[in-house]
Amino acid sequence: MKRSVVPKIVEFLIIAAVLAFMGFVAMVMTALMGGELFYTPLTVVITAAIIVFIGIGMFTSIRKQKLYLSLAGFFLLCGLTVASYEGYEAYVASIPSVSEQDFDLQEYKPFREQTKVKSLDEPSTLTLHSDLPRLDGATALYPLYAAFAQAVYPKKDYDLYEGEVMANTTPEAYENLMDGRVDIIFVAGPSEQQLEAAKARGVELKLTPIGREAFVFFVHAENPVSGLTTEQIRSIYSGTVTNWSQVGGKPASIRAFQRPENSGSQTMLQKVMGNAPIMPAPKEDIATGMGGIISQTADYKNYENAIGYSFLYFATEMVQNGNIRLLEVDGVMPSKTSIRNGTYPLAAEFYAVTAGSDNPNVERFLQWILSPQGQSLVEKTGYTPVSG
């Protein structure tokens, strides 16, 4: 005698509730492990599918063999989906990138054994033993001001993120300066937002030019485009030009990467763009480790159709990625020569920025940086001095 429908419904609801709870636990686990974009939705689909298959088996007369074959086919499809996803993720991970994680700043620490920091050929005319100005700045300029510190400061270990010689990136360096946590920062000029933030806090930023550098654009080494005009760059980053064929390349959509807001290179792009609006930056989702994700500006990935930008020293000396190629701008290749003679159109000064520190050695240190010895370290490091 067949069981009545009511007990079967109750049994199904109990099974469905147990499976739903197990699915929920699996969802939480996949989210905590950073799988919120793929594995968490997949868990929902699998849980729902299993419940549906059980319901079909309990309430229809479909043959069990056919049902089992269908279930096996579903799991095979899920397996192929996972394999495709992991294959694509492995492919993306294998593509070379240009980011601040591509090198170890520890190699540029002052006084480190076998440091990459450049040294003077003679004793420094300035030596400090106390009241050391606290330094911070852009990642790409750390090798330079670490060289300044190695020449002038007492020999000891200087922590990268706490102490007298730090490297906290341009946005954080500006924040540290305005909050009085450091005395001098070495950066590109401030963005409009940074100027407004300084004004709101009653802080006056003093910019002392100490060197010049080229703002450069780069593409995949296999990209046939060898150069762009300034106007073409504006068109690409405003979203007006979207295909490489529009600027002399092969038909392919342009992946125009950007840098985070208020970084030195992003501020420079804004200056290049003038009044032209910048299209939204490509984003990537990063797992927070607490069951959620954040979206942040994607690091440059060297796809064959990608374009990115940075500064010459960073792109050629610190990263040294042989898979990218620098572009000419307005027919001129970025180099120390074209920076020095003024032919490269996107060369700009970088600065030692202060904000009214009461440290008695700040001005002495700045004067030394502008002296022949300080400027020689600018040259040796790989930048272009502002004098001599």
Mean pLDDT across 278-307 = 68
| Tokens encoding 156 | 């000891």
Label residue 300 by pLDDT band (50, 70, 90).
Answer: confident
Give the pLDDT score at 184. 97
Give the pLDDT score at 100. 55
* Residue 157 or residue 62, greater confidence: 157
Give the pLDDT score at 289. 45
Give the pLDDT score at 291. 45
Those residues with Cβ within 8 angstroms of residue 280's Cβ, 6 or more apart along the chain or in another chain: none
Label residue 316 by pLDDT band (50, 70, 90).
Answer: confident
* Residues 272, 15: Cα–Cα separation, whole Å: 62
Cβ atoms of 377 and 118 within 8 Å: the answer is yes
Report whether pLDDT(232) > 70: yes
Phi-psi region of 230 (alpha: psi -120 to 50; beta: other; left: phi over 0): alpha
Label residue 288 by pLDDT band (50, 70, 90).
Answer: very low
Give the pLDDT score at 145. 97
Per residue in 102-113, pLDDT (tens digit) is 567 899 999 999
Share of the chain above pLDDT 70, in %: 91
**Coil, strand, or helix at residue 269?**
helix
Mean pLDDT across 170-178 = 94
- Cα–chain-centroid distance for residue 63? 56
Label residue 127 by pLDDT band (50, 70, 90).
Answer: very high
Q: Fill in the amino acid letter for 82.
A: V
Q: Comparing 181-190, 211-220, 259-268, 330-339, which segment has the lowest mean pLDDT? A: 259-268
* Residues 334, 324: Cα–Cα separation, whole Å: 14
Report whether pLDDT(154) > 50: yes
Cβ atoms of 35 and 294 within 8 Å: the answer is no
Give the pLDDT score at 296. 59
| Tokens encoding 337 | 């020569």
Give the pLDDT score at 60. 85
Label residue 1 by pLDDT band (50, 70, 90).
Answer: very low
Mean pLDDT across 212-240 = 94
Label residue 284 by pLDDT band (50, 70, 90).
Answer: low
* Residue 294 or residue 310, greater confidence: 310
* Residues 42, 39: Cα–Cα separation, whole Å: 5
Kindly tell me the burial class for residue 67, based on how many C-beta atoms sit within 10 Å of its own C-beta (0-12, 13-18, 19 or more): middle
Query: Taking the model in full, what pTM does it have?
Result: 0.74
Give the pLDDT score at 331. 95
Share of the chain above pLDDT 90, in %: 56
Give the pLDDT score at 33. 75
Can you name the residues that pair with 296 across neighbouring β-strands? 284
* Residue 138 or residue 291, greater confidence: 138
Per residue in 369-379, pLDDT (tens digit) is 999 999 999 99
Give the pLDDT score at 313. 84
Q: Comparing 111-125, 146-160, 272-286, which segment has the lowest mean pLDDT? A: 272-286
Mean pLDDT across 246-261 = 90
Give the pLDDT score at 11. 87
Report whether pLDDT(320) > 70: no
* Residue 67 or residue 244, greater confidence: 244
Mean pLDDT across 185-201 = 93
